[in-house]
Copies of this chain bind each other. A is one copy, B any other.
Amino acid sequence: MTLKEPAARIRKSSEQVRSAVHQAVIDLLSDSAGADLTIPAIAQRAGVNHTSIYRRWGGLEALLADVVTTRLERDWPLTDTGTLRGDLTAWVEAGVESIRTPEGRVLVRAVVLSMPSSAPTQAERAQQFRRRLHSIERIRERAAARGETPPPVEEILDQLIAPLYLRAIFGIDLPASGYAELLVDRLLGDVGAPGPA
């Protein structure tokens, strides 16, 4: 085996396969908005055998779900700042920074695509969505444990997640700064959080 060996021939570790396959999904979505997102195309792009993908993930739907869960955890991380307002602001700030990048906008499109279409029931769709966004539940539980009263999940979806997703999907400009604080102020009410003088 030499350095010129094509990528497909180099034996990859399990984690390398996973990482290459995830990146191939994001790359294909960047190129074509999903029309070419098939297991053979992903396998070719990742330089792995398509049977490895079927064996590991079972199919496209489970693979997409794994990609979005993994990437959302990495790119929209949670920080325990000690307050509900701080936790929400840090989380939304990370999301804003992510969707400033082309790959971050593709991730949001991947979340949309990973939702089942009209065949499953509304309840199944909603449950899948909640699983993708369990960050909201973690932030709410942490706040409740501190004695704070977090807003309902639906308000967090409407006022924090929805604007970010809409702007990512439609490529609407983001304010240069202060957008996370603005959204959190709208949600919680602007109670005079301390800021720079």
Are A172 and B186 closer than 8 Å at their CB atoms?
no
Q: Is A118 an interface residue (CB 8 A)?
A: yes
A5-13, A81-89, A122-130: which lies at the B interface?
A122-130
Contact with B along A122-163 (1 / 0, CB 8 A): 100110010000000000000000000000001001110111
Residues of B within 8 A of A94 (CB): none
Q: Is A166 an interface residue (CB 8 A)?
A: yes
Contact residue among B115, B158, B171 (Cβ-Cβ distance under 8 Å from A122): B171
Are A33 and B117 closer than 8 Å at their CB atoms?
yes
6 shortest interchain CB distances as A-B pairs = A125-B171, A33-B117, A162-B162, A158-B163, A162-B166, A129-B170
Residues of B within 8 A of A165 (CB): 162, 165-166, 169
Contact residue among B117, B125, B157 (Cβ-Cβ distance under 8 Å from A166): B157
Q: Is A102 an interface residue (CB 8 A)?
A: yes
Q: Is A112 an interface residue (CB 8 A)?
A: yes
Are B118 and A106 closer than 8 Å at their CB atoms?
yes
Q: Is A18 an interface residue (CB 8 A)?
A: no
Main secondary structure of the interface of A (DSSP, over half): helix
Interface size class for chain A? 35 or more
Contacts A102-B118, A106-B118, A162-B163 known; A169 to B112 CB distance under 8 Å?
yes
Are A158 and B166 closer than 8 Å at their CB atoms?
yes
Q: Is A190 an interface residue (CB 8 A)?
A: no
* Cα A125 to Cα B109 with chains together (Å): 14
Contact residue among B32, B102, B161, B166 (Cβ-Cβ distance under 8 Å from A161): B166
Q: Is A15 an interface residue (CB 8 A)?
A: no
Residues of B within 8 A of A35 (CB): 34
A-B CB contact pairs (8 Å), 15 listed = A29-B117, A30-B118, A33-B118, A34-B35, A102-B118, A109-B117, A122-B173, A126-B172, A126-B173, A129-B172, A154-B172, A158-B167, A162-B162, A165-B165, A186-B186
